[in-house]
């Protein structure tokens, strides 16, 4: 079973240059994106081979950007280099293409809803991570689920209204957690079920 995590950020920068200065907080809180990715794909001394991690960035100067990273042995990245990987992918964006910059690492211009539509069409059940949703432990999770997580500002209201028709809201508990903590809990829940 492949788990898809879709991390949405309305402010994360869509320019590699903005990440070059090293201030990831100023680049639209790319630090949160990095923490979430680390919880999504890394285990102690191991990289998961059952996760596809998607970043959807709507920050300036050229939104939207969809970065798709297939975790696994081919992914040559350490926890310290995730920011550099994102920066390189943003630099290598090519107009009109889904550019595979490194094996399993793609960048393209695609909207949040279009990415979700495509994952749904591939057969994935879509779950929106939301404090007020159904308990994660209670929901059926079939093959290739898609988990949508927001950054510090949460998920966009208009798109959420549209997604509500087909997606299920799920909660990991009564507190408001960091996005990265949510990713870790979801991974753990599926690990336990498997
Ligand atoms: C730091 S929170 C966002 C806070 C933001 N101010 C808001 O109101 O949505 C980051 C993301 O983690 C997820 N999240 C946080 N707490 C959660 C919970 N208890 N259950 C499920 N998802 C949660 C949501 O997807 C949220 O967009």
pLDDT for res 92: 97
- Pocket perturbation via mutation, ligand 1, pick of 9, 154, 178 by most ligand atoms within 8 A of CB: 154
How much is the pTM?
A: 0.96
Low-confidence ranges of the chain (pLDDT < 50): none
CA-CA-CA-CA torsion sign (116, 119, 121, 124): negative
* C-alpha dist (Å) from residue 165 to 93, 153, 187: 32, 22, 25
**Residue 103 beta carbon below 6 angstroms from any ligand 1 atom:** no
Length of the chain: 194
pLDDT for res 144: 93
Question: The tokens of 109 are what?
Answer: 């211009």
187's CB contacts (< 8 A; 6+ apart) are 3, 39, 40, 48, 51
pLDDT for res 74: 87
Q: Give the 3-state secondary structure of residue 40.
A: helix
Q: Give the 3-state secondary structure of residue 9.
A: strand
Q: How far is the CA of 74 from the centre of ligand 1 (A)?
A: 31
**Residue 182 beta carbon below 6 angstroms from any ligand 1 atom:** yes
């Amino acid at each position: 079973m492949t788990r898809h995590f879709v991390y949405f950020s309305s402010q994360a920068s869509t320019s590699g240059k903005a990440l070059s200065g090293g201030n990831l907080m100023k680049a639209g809180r790319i630090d949160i994106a990095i923490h979430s990715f680390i919880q999504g794909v890394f285990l102690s001394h191991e990289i998961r081979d059952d996760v596809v991690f998607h970043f959807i960035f709507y920050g300036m100067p050229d939104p939207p950007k969809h970065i798709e990273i297939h975790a696994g042995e081919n992914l040559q990245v350490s926890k310290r280099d995730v920011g550099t990987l994102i920066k390189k992918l943003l630099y290598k964006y090519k107009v009109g293409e889904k550019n595979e910059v490194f094996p399993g690492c793609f960048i393209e211009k695609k909207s949040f809803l279009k990415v979700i539509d495509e994952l749904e069409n591939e057969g994935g059940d879509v779950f929106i991570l939301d404090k007020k949703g159904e308990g994660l432990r209670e929901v059926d999770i079939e093959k290739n689920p898609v988990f949508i997580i927001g950054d510090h500002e949460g998920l966009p209201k208009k798109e959420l209204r549209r997604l509500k028709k087909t997606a299920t809201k799920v909660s990991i508990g009564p507190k408001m957690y960091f996005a990265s903590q949510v990713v870790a809990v979801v991974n753990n829940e599926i690990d336990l079920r498997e």
